[in-house]
Amino acid sequence: MHTRLSFTAAVLGALLAPAAAPLLAHHAFNAEFDANRPVKFRGTVTRMDWVNPHAWIHISVKKPDGTTEEWMIEAGTPNTLFRRGLTKQSLQPGMEVLVDGYQSKDGSLRANGRDLTLPSGETLFLGASGTGAPYDAPPKKKG
């Protein structure tokens, strides 16, 4: 006799499994970006491309040797951000940001931003606590 799952467990279990294939066949980031090439740097926004299917944040990064590198950070669809009230004014050239992500597998200066922290402390990716997420700890179970 197989165990009856709760609806919650069944849906969440499948949703959160790494193998879940999105309905939209959203491309697998691990196909393009390399888990073995984590990147972390502080940079200055030079340009924000508010485009679909992916917005791109252009960042100028000063290296220890004084040279700069121009990176592109891949982000999501801007339309969703627009409906949350963001506009092209929200991420402006000159802003300093913290980026934590994974570099492109082909070695180019492109990264899948895992955490992007704005000067306000707000994060645009799966970030540290304080993102505005309703829960930082698991919800209390009832009864």
Partner 1 sequence: MRRRFRRALIPAGSAAAVALLWLVASARAGQAPSTGRFPAYKAPRLAGHADLNGVWQALVTANWNIQDHEAQPGPHPEIMGAYGGEPPGQSVVEGGEIPYQPWALAKRKENFEKRMMVDVTDDKRWHDLGDPELKCYMPGVPRAAYMPFPFQIVQGSGDYILIAYEFTSTTRVIRMNGKADAPADSWMGWSRGRWDGDTLVVDVTDSREQTWFDRAGDFHSDALHVVERYTPVSPYHMMYEATIEDPKVFTRPWKISFPLYRRMEQNVQLLEFKCVPFTEELLFGRLRKQPRQASR
Partner 2 sequence: MRRRFMSAVAAACVAAAVSFPALADQARTTPARNAGVSRQAAGGRPAAGSMPRTPWGDPDLQGVWNDATSTPLARPGGVSDKQVLTDEEAEEFQRNLAHNLTRDRRDGGPEVDVNRAYNEHWMDARRLAITSDHRTSLIVDPPDGRIPPLVPLSPERQRARAARADAAARFAAGLPDNPEEMSLPVRCIIRTDSPPYLPTIYNNDFQIFQSPGYVAIAPEMIHSARIIPLDGRPHIGPTLHQWLGDSRGRWDGNTLVVETANFRTDEGVIFQDADPATYRITERFTRVDARTIRYEFTVEDPHTWTRPWTAMIPWTRIDPGEQMYEYACHEDNYDIVHLLQGARIRERKGETVPKRNRER
Q: Contact residues for partner 1 (CB under 8 A)?
A: 50, 56, 72, 78, 82, 86-88
Which residues have CB under 8 Å from 94's CB, separation 6+? 44, 45
Q: Which stretch binds partner 2 (CB under 8 A): 20-28, 39-47, 59-67, 89-97?
A: 20-28
CA distance 125 to 110: 16
R_g of the chain computed on alpha carbons: 18
Q: How far is the CB of 47 from partner 2 (least distance, A)?
A: 13
Largest Cα separation within the chain, whole Å, is 66
Based on CB atoms, which residue is closest to partner 1, 68 or 129?
Answer: 68
Q: How far is the CB of 88 from partner 1 (least distance, A)?
A: 5
* Burial label, 56 (beta-carbon count in 10 A; 0-12, 13-18, 19+): middle
* Residue 71 engages partner 2 in binding (rule: CB under 8 A): no
Q: Which stretch binds partner 2 (CB under 8 A): 39-47, 62-70, 90-98, 117-125?
A: 117-125
CA distance 61 to 66: 10
Q: How far is the CB of 103 from partner 1 (least distance, A)?
A: 15
Based on CB atoms, which residue is closest to partner 1, 81 or 118?
Answer: 81
